[in-house]
Amino acid sequence: GQGVEQPAKLMSVEGTFARVNCTYSTSGFNGLSWYQQREGQAPVFLSYVVLDGLKDSGHFSTFLSRSNGYSYLLLTELQIKDSASYLCAVRIDTNAYKVIFGKGTHLHVLP
Amino acid sequence: DAGVTQTPRHEVAEKGQTIILKCEPVSGHNDLFWYRQTKIQGLELLSYFRSKSLMEDGGAFKDRFKAEMLNSSFSTLKIQPTEPKDSAVYLCASSYDWGGAYEQYFGPGTRLTVL
């Protein structure tokens, strides 16, 4: 079957970095998005990648390897407010609704 | 620009009741989604509209869940009859598919508790 997998929890320390992993196995691939969701709030779009390699967007960077079905979101210079869930979403074809979301990784940033 | 708005923010229903959740998408967006979110299942697609036409009705959710889009700026999700297992956060999202990065804009959600 098709799936997008993420570890449930991740902990890191303020001022350091955190890497949130996402692996996927899908019938097709038409882009991968990352969303941030704070407790009790809506998911907020962070990044979209469709080509292999690292996309540096400052505080957030995104890596994609399509051949390995793997992506990660890298957060640098962590702040306490980065504590949130991070959702990975894979669009499997050109139909807009064919997006499979992972269940999210809850990142806890320690002081 | 206003984001996606949803009402009510919280709803408590008795088993067997009918409830209607409302959503106003971002102006100009032609895609609208209804999702259900729980800790166990994550985000599950309930319905998808493109330019007000229902394109996907979420298969397993067809039975008691009905989404409608009466005009491009308003959508409803009716759950009839409600069951305790429907307790979850219901999220509405909208987007515009311009062929590039596909970003969904989510509303704040409605937290539904069914007793």
Tell me the residues of A at the B interface, defined by beta carbons under 8 Å apart: 31, 33, 35, 41-45, 48, 87, 91, 95-97, 99, 101-104
Q: Euclidean distance between the first and final Cα of chain B, in Å?
A: 37
Average pLDDT, chain B: 92
Rounded Cα distance, B85 and B83, in Å: 5
Instruction: Indicate whether A60 pLDDT > 70.
Output: yes
Q: Are A93 and A32 in contact (CB under 8 A)?
A: no
Among residues A93, A97, A89, which one has the least CA distance to residue A73?
A: A89
Of B33, B48, B104, the CB nearest to A45: B104
Query: Each residue of B31-65: pLDDT tens digit?
Result: 999 999 998 989 999 999 999 998 888 777 778 99
In angstroms, what separates the C-alpha of B107 from chain A's closest C-alpha? 6
pLDDT exceeds 70 at position A91: yes
Q: State yes or no: pLDDT of B1 exceeds 70.
A: no
For residue B97, the model assigns a pLDDT of 80
CA-CA distances (angstroms) from residue B33 to A1, A44, A54? Answer: 23, 15, 30
Residue of A nearest to B49 (CA): A97
pLDDT digits 0-9 by tens, B4-23: 999 999 999 999 999 999 99
What's the confidence (pLDDT) of residue A88?
A: 97
Q: What is the 3-state secondary structure (H, E, C) of A21-32?
A: EEEEECCCCCCE
Does residue A44 have a pLDDT over 90?
A: yes
Q: Measure CB to CB from residue B101 to each of A48, A97, A101 and give the nearest one.
A: A48
Residues 36-75 of B with CB under 8 A from A: 39, 41-43, 45, 48, 50, 55-56
Inter-chain residue contact B55 with A97, CB threshold 8 Å = yes
